[in-house]
Structure 1
């Protein structure tokens, strides 16, 4: 699974509005996970996703009649879905902090395009495959939905605002489903699930406990694994944790590089 449009332009100190009161307490105590730590954990899950269809069959065999090999592939794939709420949360956070939403959205779209060929190679063994689009497109769709919701909120109020907002969310969902964004095992649409998490984190961000409980329940319904991923976001301490200004670009490159390496190795 995967996804890297998470560069957080203008990252600074958190407020309780953005991370919740529990997050503010963790920040003061210096405990919890930094943004850098969250991305490292997310990167591990991305590796599992890329390896599930490439390295795991190489190591354990690609015979789906072999229960050991099949179990290893399915386990890596399912566990990798823990990354979905992590990157959805980072997207919402980055969206609220970016200095330029145009640049932020452009970076996401370019990254999605860059990831597509490595994703097709890793998932289908072909350079071009329309059976599934890489999950970064799911982040881009969610970004567009957030931008449109803000645009609607600035211009409309009351019932009209809610009707337009629901319509935009449904259109985003349809794009994810029709384009097969992040479709895995013909069961899980990572694009649709990503959009669900993004809406929960964006609309309920002022109420951390309720937000995390709702996200956890949503993740549990979506094949259980994403629910565990929500736990990592709950322990974010409000700090960036980067050592260098260019670290964010390393994380941008991480997903396509992992996909390409795993595809070539297989």
Structure 2
């Protein structure tokens, strides 16, 4: 390797180190996810009833819109986690546990009731996306031709319908985050081998869906593929954060 090639390699390694690791993406996702809890539970308690105050309404809507930046980030983390996991069943079980634990405080915040079928928390959207992803991946490995693509389309449609029927992650009656999560995951799955096409398509999808999710795609563009953490407990901490935020929000809103 000559000096020019060595220099290019060194610069490439520096860029990767300066990029966003999985840990940093998770931290960014948590920050914007917290804004979602703040928009429906904390801000109304601080700035007043949004139905009576235009300033309060504006603050809450802006906070909610900013929180949507987290959707493509968590969609990518789900896809990346699936392709690196040694046990997709265990991965799905962890998501199911978090979704179930989160449901009571989420319902309290969103509806004022401890149990409601009118809306489901966004973790169920991640779980549905994981199931669809696993089925689509299985079809890609075990079926071929028109049969594969017909079943693939049917599986994706079924996942989207579940998100719609269960009202998964409906935010401000504007954004169906469950539907958007599954859409992003499918973009990442089918276009992962073509980085530019994947980022452009995901960015366009985010821009069409209320603009702010496209900002989350911009964060993904600067990922470096590294984990960014070494302690095993760090991974588990991110499973706990969302239910804790919801419990805190439910206490504030009570």
Mapping 1:42-191, distance limit 5 Å: 42-191=29-178
Higher RCO (Cα < 8 Å, 6 or more apart): 1
Residue aligning to 1:260: 247
Quick check: 2:20–2:224 contact (8 Å CA) kept in 1? yes
CA-to-aligned-CA distance 1:162-202 (integer Å, 9 cap, x gap): 11100100000000001111111222111000000000011
* Deviates most, 252-261 or 61-70: 61-70
Gaps of 5+ in 1: 1-23
Query: Alignment partner of 2:214: what SS?
Result: helix
Aligned length: 243
Residue aligning to 1:18: none
Asked if residue 222 in structure 1 is aligned to residue 193 in structure 2, the reply is no
Match of 2:188 among 194, 201, 214: 201
Quick check: 2:163–2:178 contact (8 Å CA) kept in 1? yes
CA-to-aligned-CA distance 1:1-20 (integer Å, 9 cap, x gap): xxxxxxxxxxxxxxxxxxxx
Query: Alignment partner of 1:54: what SS?
Result: helix
TM-score by length of 1: 0.88
TM-score by length of 2: 0.92
Distance 1:77 1:63 in 2: 13
Gaps of 5+ in 2: 1-10
Q: CA RMSD in A?
A: 1.4
Distance 2:87 2:230 in 1: 23
Distance 1:29 1:187 in 2: 36
Quick check: 1:46–1:80 contact (8 Å CA) kept in 2? yes
CA-to-aligned-CA distance 1:182-233 (integer Å, 9 cap, x gap): 1112221110000000000111111111100000000000111111111111
Query: Alignment partner of 1:242: what SS?
Result: coil
Quick check: 1:26–1:237 contact (8 Å CA) kept in 2? no
Asked if residue 238 in structure 1 is aligned to residue 225 in structure 2, the reply is yes
Distance 2:20 2:64 in 1: 24
Quick check: 2:73–2:217 contact (8 Å CA) kept in 1? yes
Quick check: 1:184–1:190 contact (8 Å CA) kept in 2? yes
Distance 1:157 1:118 in 2: 44
